[in-house]
């Protein structure tokens, strides 16, 4: 996973693996020059699928899904390890500080929505959180190893079930962290208006089986658009309208490739991001294989 900072054009990214160095941090300038590359000390190799950035910090997710190379011959070589623990780390984006770690309740995070610094200097992180039981049920459907197989889950679409939107507040001064659930529905693949990456953002878009969700994190409300029974909407990518004076954060559209099993072709669904009303539907002659992430690049940047 990588993040581009809209304000500077920098590209921030990382690498992780089963052998040392377990975690490395890299930073490219807007001109594409590698200006920083450094190891980040962690106890072991973990499946760090994502990270977050703010104006001044990188947020690391050091969580208890670890590499186990003994499993390499029989599927994905990662498993949940209660003994590893769970923590979030804050590091200055420019690499001028060590990581300040904060312990959190055991969980796993595949995908971050956004992070920012609030007026009190704390870091606010929104992401999709999995408990161990939710992770095991999903991981099992993907062919991963679990210590206690979960029978009869009925989960066939895996990634869009079990995760819940949560918010963490991290204090870089004290190293403390607090956590709260923002919703109790299972969702995944959170997206935002990418122009606000690392800065305060109000709206968060997610998907679940049969629906696309929009969260207003300021008012605590949400709305949804149903995509039909037995449908699987893909990541809802935000496409901004042309910016101008007074342009609202949610002025634009959401694009999602929706699958309907084997009964019909897929469709490209276009929603008005403000009220989740349908703007257009492009019917595909056949099913498009499910993907995970997408991006919108305007012609002027292509």
> Domain-by-domain residue ranges, the chain?
202-302
What average pLDDT does this structure show over 15-44?
94
Q: Is the pTM of this model over 0.85?
A: yes
Query: Cα separation of 134 and 107, whole Å?
Result: 9
- pLDDT of residue 6 exceeding 70, the answer is no
Structure tokens at 198: 């690392």
Q: Residues 277-285: what's their mean pLDDT?
A: 94
- Tell me how far the alpha carbon of residue 63 is from its chain's centroid: 14
Check residue 287 and report its DSSP letter.
P
At 302 the pLDDT is: 55
- Which candidate, 205, 191, 257, places its Cα nearest to that of 227? 257
DSSP 8-state secondary structure symbol assigned to residue 260: B
Q: Where are the alpha helices (DSSP H) in the chain?
A: 132-141
Which residue has 């703007």 as its token pair? Answer: 279
Comparing C-alpha atoms, which of 102, 103, 9, 115 is closest to residue 52?
115
Confidence band of 10 (pLDDT split at 50, 70, 90): confident
Question: Where on the phi/psi map is residue 189: left (φ > 0), alpha (ψ -120 to 50), or beta?
Answer: left
pLDDT of residue 140: 87
Among residues 48, 51, 28, 23, which one has the least CA distance to residue 38?
A: 23
Q: Does residue 292 have a pLDDT over 80?
A: no
Q: How sure is the predictor about 141, in pLDDT bands with cuts at 50, 70 and 90?
A: confident
Q: Above pLDDT 90, what percent of the chain?
A: 71
Round to whole Å and give the CA distance between 228 and 226. Answer: 6
User: What was the pLDDT predicted at 291?
Assistant: 72
Average pLDDT over residues 276-301: 83
* DSSP assignment letter at 41: -
How high is the mean pLDDT of the chain?
89
Nearest to 49 by CA among 29, 67, 75, 72: 67
pLDDT confidence of residue 156? 45
Q: Is 158 a residue whose pLDDT tops 70?
A: no
Range 238-262 average pLDDT? 88
Edge-to-edge strand ranges of the sheet holding 211-216: 188-191, 203-208, 211-216, 221-226
Percent of the chain with pLDDT over 70: 91
pLDDT for the residue numbered 76: 85
pLDDT at 230: 87
Q: E strand or H helix at 181, and its extent?
A: strand 177-181
Task: Quickly state the pLDDT bin for 94 (edges 50, 70, 90).
Answer: confident
Q: Are 38 and 22 in contact (CB under 8 A)?
A: no
Are 89 and 99 in contact by the 8 Å Cβ rule? The answer is yes
Structure confidence at residue 151 as a pLDDT band (50, 70, 90): low
């Amino acid at each position: 996973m990588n993040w581009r900072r809209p304000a500077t054009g920098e590209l921030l990214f990382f690498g992780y693996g089963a052998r040392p160095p377990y975690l490395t941090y890299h930073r490219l300038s807007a001109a594409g020059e590698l200006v920083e590359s450094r190891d980040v000390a962690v106890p072991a190799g973990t499946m760090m699928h994502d990270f977050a950035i703010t104006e001044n910090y990188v947020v690391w997710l050091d969580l208890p899904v670890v590499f186990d190379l003994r499993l390499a011959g029989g599927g994905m070589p990662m498993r949940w390890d209660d003994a590893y623990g769970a923590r979030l780390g804050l590091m200055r984006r420019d690499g001028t500080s060590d990581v300040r770690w904060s312990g959190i309740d055991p969980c796993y995070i595949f995908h971050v929505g956004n992070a920012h610094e609030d007026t009190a200097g704390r870091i606010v992180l929104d992401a999709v959180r999995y408990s161990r039981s939710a992770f095991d049920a999903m991981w099992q459907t993907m062919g991963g190893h679990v210590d206690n197989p979960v029978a009869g889950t009925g989960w066939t679409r895996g990634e869009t079930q079990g995760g819940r939107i949560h918010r963490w507040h991290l204090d870089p001064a004290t190293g403390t962290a607090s956590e709260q659930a923002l919703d109790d529905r299972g969702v995944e693949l959170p997206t935002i208006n990418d122009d606000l990456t690392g800065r305060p953002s109000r709206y968060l878009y997610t998907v679940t089986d049969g629906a696309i969700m929009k969260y207003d994190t300021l008012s605590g409300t949400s709305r949804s658009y149903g995509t039909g029974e037995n449908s699987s909407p893909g990541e809802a990518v935000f496409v901004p309208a042309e910016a101008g004076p007074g342009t609202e954060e949610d002025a634009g559209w959401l694009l999602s490739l929706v699958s309907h099993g084997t009964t019909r072709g897929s469709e490209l669904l276009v929603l008005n991001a403000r009220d989740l009303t349908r703007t257009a539907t492009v019917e595909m002659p056949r099913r498009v294989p499910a993907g995970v992430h997408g991006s919108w690049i305007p012609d002027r940047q292509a």
